Amino acid sequence: MANRATGELARREFVRRVIATGAGLATANLGLAGCGPKVAAGAGEDLGPIEKGLNLYLWSDYLADDTVPNFEKEFGVKVTVDTYESNEEMAAKLMAGASGYDLVLPSSYLFPVLFSKDLLAPLRRKYLTNWGNVAPLFLNPPWDPGNAHSVPWGWGTTGIAYRKDLVRERPDSWAVFFDERYRGKVTMLDDLRDVIGSFLRLRGRSLNSVDPAELAAAKQDALKAKPNLRAYVSAPVKAQLIAGDVWIAQMWSGDAQQAIAEQPAIEYLVPKEGGTIFSDALVMPRSAPHQRAAHEFLNYILRPPVAAAIADKTGYGTPNQAALPLTRAKVPYPTADELGRLEYQKDLGQGSEQWDRIWTEIKAA
């Protein structure tokens, strides 16, 4: 199935582009002031014996095939996995009171919202004996001081994947979505932050802008692109790109690498105007019913071979320093300088309503 050699080449190209584009987590301006957690790392009593079940709520296509089966076998725990396609879908479910989940996997910009609703339990570091494998870049991030509530899972970028056998010119600008030659053959992510954010970047604006005029312009751009789009679609676009039904797709880097592994004619790039860099991390809701099993799972994914297998299967960068030499692609971490043209998504605060309204209008048009 996967063409490993070509996949590795494409990954190196991805890394080269991240490196050519891409500020350390600790220095990134994430707009998180006043949004921090209320409890310090390691707080809480002992968790007791491991439970028999574990309920995960994760982004789709973000596991290696053997991650869950091997954990179930070793720990005698039955794991259920529900998946989602966007941070907003997951947050809506948690905020509506979904209570059975033990671990969920938000991107960094969602942390202030989850903290503001007091949804996250502090982690007991004493159960995380493999914590020392986390790369320094992912320690003490601004969105979770002291990593008190999260274990980093993966990082990546938002860019463009395209079929180089079907598209003559390299689509290295977000403006490609205006090109009528590709009508019906292009898709954008079903994700308001990435769609509106990319048109803000096209005009040289921050992808976290809450300026009404800048957002109005981004909306107009999105409406201009919409007639060309086959759909707003996230992870499921992989199959359409592999089949050649879609030629150009806004995609997350790892999902693009998964498609490249199946179809070597696909290439991934970060547009010249720049784009998103994201970091996703596992967190435990306060309502988690299986907290000891959750900690065992967190410690398990901190094992280098487990983290390496996840990175290799999913195409996302691993925050696990000890796993890096075990991965086929050995994706190095971006430096502060390299991150210059990439931007972390921030919580939009009061601006969220404006973004939501614009997104609803775009989708309804």
Binding of residue 60 to ligand SPD (CB under 6 A): yes
Question: 195: which residues sit within 8 A by CB, 6+ positions away?
Answer: 188, 189, 222, 232, 250, 359, 362
Site map 273..312 versus ligand SPD, x via CB under 6 A: ---x-x-x--------------------------------
Q: Among 8, 144, 194, 338, which residue sits at the site for ligand SPD (rule: CB under 6 A)?
A: 194
Map residue 262 onto helix, strand or coil: helix
Binding of residue 84 to ligand SPD (CB under 6 A): no
Task: Work out how close the CB of 352 gets to ligand SPD at its nearest, in angstroms, rounded to a whole number.
Answer: 15
Q: Among 102, 190, 221, 255, which residue sits at the site for ligand SPD (rule: CB under 6 A)?
A: 255
Binding of residue 174 to ligand SPD (CB under 6 A): no
Element (DSSP H or E) covering residue 298: helix 291-301
Task: Work out how close the CB of 62 gets to ligand SPD at its nearest, in angstroms, rounded to a whole number.
Answer: 4
Binding of residue 149 to ligand SPD (CB under 6 A): no
Q: 241 to each of 10, 209, 244, how far by Cα in Å?
A: 15, 31, 5
Binding of residue 190 to ligand SPD (CB under 6 A): no
Strand partners, 160: 250, 269
- Counting residues that bind ligand SPD (by CB under 6 A) gives 16
Which residue's CB is nearer to ligand SPD, number 280 or number 296? 280
Residues 33/344, Cβ–Cβ less than 8 Å: no
CA torsion sign for 235, 309, 120, 111 is negative
**CA gyration radius, the chain:** 20
Binding of residue 57 to ligand SPD (CB under 6 A): no
CA distance 274 to 284: 32
Binding of residue 51 to ligand SPD (CB under 6 A): no
Which residue's CB is nearer to ligand SPD, number 130 or number 279? 279
Residues 102/284, Cβ–Cβ less than 8 Å: yes
Binding of residue 104 to ligand SPD (CB under 6 A): no
Which residue's CB is nearer to ligand SPD, number 142 or number 254? 254
Binding of residue 14 to ligand SPD (CB under 6 A): no
Interface segment toward ligand SPD; rule CB under 6 A; list 14-22, 60-68, 93-101, 321-329: 60-68
User: Which residue type is seen at 121?
Assistant: A
Taking the CA atoms of residue 287, residue 291, residue 297 and residue 299 in that order, the dihedral angle to the nearest 10 degrees is 120
Task: Work out how close the CB of 197 gets to ligand SPD at its nearest, in angstroms, rounded to a whole number.
Answer: 8
Interface segment toward ligand SPD; rule CB under 6 A; list 4-12, 115-123, 190-198, 355-363: 190-198
Interface segment toward ligand SPD; rule CB under 6 A; list 14-22, 186-194, 224-232, 282-290: 186-194
Q: Among 59, 84, 297, 359, which residue sits at the site for ligand SPD (rule: CB under 6 A)?
A: 59
Q: What is the DSSP string of 39-92?
A: S-TT-S----SPPSEEEEEEETT-S-TTHHHHHHHHHT-EEEEEEES-HHHHHH
Burial class (CB in 10 A: 0-12, 13-18, 19+), 364: exposed
Which residue's CB is nearer to ligand SPD, number 167 or number 339? 339
The binding site for ligand SPD (CB under 6 A) comprises: 59-62, 107, 158, 191, 193-194, 235, 252, 254-255, 276, 278, 280
